[in-house]
Amino acid sequence: MAASVARVTTISVRSDTSFEDAVRVGVERASQTLRNVSGAWIKDQKVELTDGKITSFHVVLEVSFVLDD
């Protein structure tokens, strides 16, 4: 039986649009640099405010990828 080993890396992403956009951009960017990206989960999220209005959305993602043999 073959075993696989995965690694998890943390990335931080900011979007002026939405949390969903930040997650999408983060996963797409991670996939450009890391091979075998297999999943991601949101570790933290927050918004930045100016004069009581949301100006940006921040997410911290844990991205997992399977290591090459």
Model pLDDT for residues 11-20, shown as the tens digit of each residue: 999 999 999 9
pLDDT at 3: 82
Q: Where are the domains of the chain?
A: 6-66
What is the average pLDDT score of the chain?
Answer: 95
Q: What is the CATH number of domain 6-66?
A: 3.30.1660.10
b/e map of 5-40 (b: 16 or more CB within 10 Å)?
Answer: eeeeeebebebeeebeebbeebbeebeeebeebeeb
**pTM for the complete prediction?**
0.86
Nearest to 55 by CA among 24, 18, 25: 18
pLDDT digits (tens, 9 = 90+) for 26-50: 999 999 999 999 999 999 999 999 9
Positive or negative CA dihedral for 32, 37, 41, 44? Answer: negative
Position 67 pLDDT exceeds 80: yes
Position 1 pLDDT exceeds 80: no
